[in-house]
Amino acid sequence: MNPELEALIKAYDAAIQSQGRDSEQLEAIYESLLAQARERHRNVSLDTLDRTVQLAHRRWVKAQANFPTLPSQAWGNPIDALISGLLIQDSGSIRTCAL
């Protein structure tokens, strides 16, 4: 992800989740970052940039909730994995590691 967009998304996230005096301060930080981005990208209006960040934020939140899982073949028998620990095969040798 573009570091500039990621900073805007995280600033927006902090601003919408905060309350009280912190809320005003975090909103000001977000607006400042948005204005700086607008200066670098003069062909985009501030409103369009703000809506783009909001859309990217929704997708970012959704992606955070949908973390990848291991396929069932990777686990084998889940009871064996719980009893003996996770087995890792490395260059012919087998060792266990803590879960």
Average pLDDT, the chain: 79
Print the SS3 string covering 50-93: HHHHHHHHHHHHHHHHCCCCCCHHHHCCHHHHHHHCEEEEECCE
Q: What is the pLDDT of residues 3-45, one digit of tens each?
A: 999 999 999 999 999 988 889 999 999 999 999 999 999 999 9
DSSP state of 91: T
Decide: pTM greater than 0.75.
no
Q: Whole-angstrom Cα distance, residue 7 to residue 30?
A: 9
Q: Whole-angstrom Cα distance, residue 56 to residue 43?
A: 19
Q: Quote the percentage of the chain above a pLDDT of 70.
A: 67
